[in-house]
């Protein structure tokens, strides 16, 4: 009931701002002004900030929306245990962020990370996004931006969807492993009301002996209008439904001794199903004095049912160690604020004040045992009400032509309320707690001198912990992060030529979440420190040929002991060569590298490095149509058919013929072999 009232209050606030703007808008009788596009580089507050445009997104291989994240220097996303239908495993700045614990994700200002999730804290499944609907992606790293709160430790990723299409599109494609993909995108109206409708169907069996049978359906609808010449209102709805089989993480020893193939499985009953329905409302009103009111509201219904088996027969030698994780919830929230640009004591400035609120109403979150997807017991079953209230302020100043200052502060207050739903379960967390944190931020930008800017950044942030473990006393409510970085961005050969970037950063975290293999969950550990270097370059090489590349190095350790943080990547790299010919051909060759990383704290067991190449081809066919144009596309993933590993862990498991204590081993999800997929699109 409290969640419904909270969402209603947010919606009323949005509509109040909207009505007030209409009533007091002095320009409501003015003639409408045609839209004018202005193209230019947006100012950034840190050398590690980045904007990824849609033209780069469309050249990524189709299938996994998370593929686009590798365009972010140092960001790697790989398939996790449990199958292709669930959230990926994310690596950034020395974090194995699991499914999103230390990277905040948003779409149209709506948070994607799920708190107190049945499978992992901050769980971020991007499969509800249709990549072709994305207009661009804003990326920030570190803890230096006041508008981002929970999970923004390593960084934040914000997707922005299109309002309207320049061309409608119908696309069909297919490839190996029975893969099929179909897309329909339309903009029926493009003037006073701009609309966008998109639907996608995807199916694949994958390279596994146990077919994935992965089916995903996506739908999105969006309508945008200008109620007055100074205001804009946008309403978006989306729906996703998926189900899949999975081969899970397999033990290295079983592959080397020939017990199973590299794409085989120990427990072929793994898999899952999920559903997500979202509604989003965005509004802003531009005042005559250079200010802007903005208000957003969102409502999400989410459900997940996941079957996995990490340790096989270690705990139960007869029925196996299969577990079932369930999550069902509503999520409400919104943002309300005002921004004013102008002069403060003769200094160019912009001030922003905002308030963010979110409530997760979790009707059922459950962990139980299962055998071949048949429930055999319940370990913990809870209902959770978790809410946060977050005011923030941000001030940007330019006291000198060669100096900019951007700083702010945000306060986050959380309430956690956990109810036990199972009186016979071995784990029965219950209780209520509150917690809060104030996070200051500061950024200094100097230059440009000789087309070069210098950046110094400082800030604090946090990620929240699972409400169940927190009320049970196993972890603190909020894990505080403190970060600093210095860097530069330079275009030494001119403003329209190659851009170079370099950043040194350091980040301390008060409590680390470490993977626990036998439970498939994480547990809070001690304080950690990470530091590293990022370098990158992008720009035109010659004529139609351009380049984009980055190299990152990170050191990650527990502060008190100097031991390694398991799974933390040390060296990552990305490079792409892009050729755009006027004849209508676009070609891109991409390389992704993930270096050796420790799998235990002593650094005695390590995951091997891997190097992967992908090729993308898009060609506008020279066929004259009475209406529209045709484009063919070809994607070749893992071009050289190398063996590589996705999620990789070290823990103890037991196969049927092994001793009762099990065997310590590396367990991994094999990366896809060479995979070809082609398609044809009609733009009209």
Tell me: the pLDDT tens digits for 567-578? 999 999 999 999
What are the pLDDT digits (tens) for 70-114?
Answer: 999 999 999 886 667 899 999 999 999 889 999 999 999 999 999
* % of the chain at pLDDT higher than 70: 92
| Distance, CA of 653 to CA of 321 (rounded, Å) | 10
- Cβ neighbours of residue 313 closer than 8 Å, sequence gap 6 or more: 320, 321, 654, 655, 656
Spatial CA neighbour of 378 closest among 411, 423, 347, 346: 423
Concatenated DSSP letters for 593-634? EE--EESSTTS-SEEPPEEEEEEEEEEE-----SSSEEEEEE
| Distance, CA of 298 to CA of 238 (rounded, Å) | 11
Mean pLDDT to the nearest integer, 147-163: 97
Spatial CA neighbour of 469 closest among 116, 98, 123, 104: 116
| Distance, CA of 102 to CA of 104 (rounded, Å) | 7
Mean pLDDT to the nearest integer, 469-485: 93
Query: Does 37 have pLDDT greater than 60?
Result: no
User: What is the domain range of residue 298?
Assistant: 2-683
Three-state DSSP at 21 gives: helix
Tokens 């494609």 belong to 173
* Region for residue 281 given its phi and psi (left: phi exceeds 0; alpha: psi -120 to 50; beta: otherwise): beta
Backbone phi, then psi, for 137, in 5-degree steps?
-130, 125
| Distance, CA of 635 to CA of 77 (rounded, Å) | 18
User: Considering its fold, how many domains does the chain have in total?
Assistant: 1
Mean pLDDT to the nearest integer, 526-551: 95
Q: Are 637 and 592 in contact (CB under 8 A)?
A: no
Mean pLDDT to the nearest integer, 472-495: 93
- pLDDT band of 474, cuts 50, 70, 90: confident
What's the mean pLDDT when you consider all of the chain? 92
Three-state DSSP at 502 gives: strand
- Structure tokens of 500? 């170079």
- Higher per-residue confidence, 422 vs 22: 422
Task: Please count the other Cβ atoms lying within 10 Å of the Cβ belonging to residue 476.
Answer: 17
Spatial CA neighbour of 179 closest among 668, 641, 635, 681: 635
Mean pLDDT to the nearest integer, 333-355: 95
What are the pLDDT digits (tens) for 201-238?
Answer: 999 999 999 999 999 999 999 999 999 999 999 999 99
- Cβ neighbours of residue 374 closer than 8 Å, sequence gap 6 or more: none
- pLDDT band of 512, cuts 50, 70, 90: confident
Q: What Rg do the C-alpha atoms of the chain give, in angstroms? A: 25
How far from the centroid of its chain's Cα atoms is residue 387's Cα?
21
Query: Does 518 have pLDDT greater than 70?
Result: no
Q: What is the pLDDT of residue 41?
A: 63
Query: Does 12 have pLDDT greater than 50?
Result: no
Among 25-29, 86-90, 170-174, the range of highest mean pLDDT: 170-174
| Distance, CA of 26 to CA of 670 (rounded, Å) | 62
Q: What is the pLDDT of residue 515?
A: 56
Concatenated DSSP letters for 442-490? EEEEEEEETTEEEEEEEEEEEEE--HHHHHTTSS-SEEEEEEEEEEEEE
Omega cis (within 30) before 448: yes
Mean pLDDT to the nearest integer, 276-289: 97
Query: Does 2 have pLDDT greater than 70?
Result: no
- pLDDT band of 185, cuts 50, 70, 90: very high
| Distance, CA of 104 to CA of 86 (rounded, Å) | 17
- pLDDT band of 60, cuts 50, 70, 90: confident
pTM: 0.93
- pLDDT band of 624, cuts 50, 70, 90: confident
| Polymer length of the chain | 684
Mean pLDDT to the nearest integer, 242-267: 96
Mean pLDDT to the nearest integer, 629-644: 96
* % of the chain at pLDDT higher than 90: 84
Query: Does 18 have pLDDT greater than 50?
Result: no
CATH code: domain of residue 163:
2.40.170.20
- pLDDT band of 40, cuts 50, 70, 90: low
Three-state DSSP at 380 gives: strand
| Distance, CA of 479 to CA of 511 (rounded, Å) | 5
Least confident range of 55-69, 159-173, 667-681: 55-69
């Amino acid at each position: 009931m409290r969640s419904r009232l909270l969402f209603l209050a947010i919606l009323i606030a949005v509509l109040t701002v909207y009505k007030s703007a209409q009533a007091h808008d002095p320009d409501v009788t003015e003639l409408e002004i045609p839209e004018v596009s202005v193209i230019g580089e947006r100012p950034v507050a840190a050398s590690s900030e980045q904007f990824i445009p849609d033209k780069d997104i469309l050249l990524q291989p189709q299938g996994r929306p998370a593929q686009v994240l590798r365009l972010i220097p140092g960001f790697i996303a790989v398939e996790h245990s449990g199958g292709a239908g669930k959230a990926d495993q994310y690596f950034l700045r020395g974090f194995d962020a699991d499914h999103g614990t230390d990277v905040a994700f948003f779409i149209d200002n709506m948070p994607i990370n799920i708190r107190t999730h049945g499978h992992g804290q901050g769980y971020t499944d991007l499969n509800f996004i249709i990549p072709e609907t994305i207009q661009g992606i804003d990326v920030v790293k570190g803890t230096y931006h006041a508008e981002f709160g929970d999970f923004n430790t390593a960084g934040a990723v914000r997707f922005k969807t299109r309002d309207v299409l320049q061309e409608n599109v119908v696309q069909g494609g297919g490839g190996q492993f029975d893969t099929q993909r179909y897309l329909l995108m339309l903009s029926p109206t493009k003037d006073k009301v701009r609309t966008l409708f998109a639907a996608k169907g995807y199916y694949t069996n994958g390279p596994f002996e146990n077919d994935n049978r992965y089916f995903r359906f996506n739908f999105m609808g969006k309508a945008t209008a200008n109620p007055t010449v100074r205001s804009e209102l946008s309403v978006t709805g989306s729906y996703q439904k998926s189900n899949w089989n999975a081969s899970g993480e397999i033990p290295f020893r079983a592959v080397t001794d020939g017990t199973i193939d590299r794409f085989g499985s120990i427990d072929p009953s793994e898999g899952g199903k999920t559903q997500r329905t979202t509604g989003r409302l965005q509004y802003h009103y531009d005042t005559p004095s250079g200010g802007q009111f903005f208000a957003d509201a969102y409502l999400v219904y989410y459900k997940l049912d996941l079957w996995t088996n990490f340790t096989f027969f270690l705990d139960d030698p007869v029925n196996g160690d299969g577990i079932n994780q369930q999550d069902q919830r509503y999520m409400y929230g919104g943002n309300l604020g005002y921004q004013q640009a102008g002069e403060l004591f003769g200094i160019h400035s912009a001030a922003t004040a905002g308030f963010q609120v979110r409530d997760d109403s979790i009707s059922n979150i459950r962990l139980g045992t299962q055998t071949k997807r048949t429930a055999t017991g319940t370990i913990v079953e809870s209902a959770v009400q978790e809410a946060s209230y977050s005011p923030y302020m941000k001030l940007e100043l330019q006291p000198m032509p060669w100096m900019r200052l951007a700083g702010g502060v945000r306060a986050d207050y959380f309430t956690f309320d956990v109810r036990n739903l199972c009186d016979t379960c071995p784990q029965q967390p219950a209780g209520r707690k509150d917690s809060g944190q104030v996070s200051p931020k500061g950024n200094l930008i100097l230059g440009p001198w000789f087309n070069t800017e210098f950046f110094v950044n400082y800030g604090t942030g946090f990620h929240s912990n699972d409400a169940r473990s927190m009320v049970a006393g196993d972890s603190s409510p909020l894990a505080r992060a403190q970060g600093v970085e210095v860097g530069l961005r330079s275009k030494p050969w001119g403003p329209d030529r190659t851009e170079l970037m370099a950043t040194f950063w350091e980040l301390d975290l008060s409590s680390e979440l470490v993977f626990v293999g036998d439970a498939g969950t994480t547990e809070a550990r001690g304080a950690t420190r990470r530091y590293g270097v990022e370098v990158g370059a992008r720009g035109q090489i010659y004529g139609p040929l351009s380049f984009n590349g980055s190299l990152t190095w990170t050191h990650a350790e527990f502060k008190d002991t100097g031991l390694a943080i398991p799974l933390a990547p040390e060296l990552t790299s990305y490079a792409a060569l892009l050729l755009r010919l006027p004849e209508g051909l676009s070609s891109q060759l991409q390389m992704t590298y993930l270096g050796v990383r420790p799998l235990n704290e002593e650094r005695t067991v390590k995951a091997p490095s891997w190097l992967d190449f992908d090729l993308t081809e898009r060609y506008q066919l020279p066929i004259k149509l009475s209406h529209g144009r045709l484009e063919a596309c070809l994607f070749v993933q893992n071009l050289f058919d190398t063996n590589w590993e996705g999620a990789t862990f070290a823990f103890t498991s037991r196969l049927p013929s092994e001793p009762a204590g099990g065997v310590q081993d590396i367990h991994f999800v094999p990366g896809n072999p060479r995979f070809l997929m082609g398609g044809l699109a009609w733009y009209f």
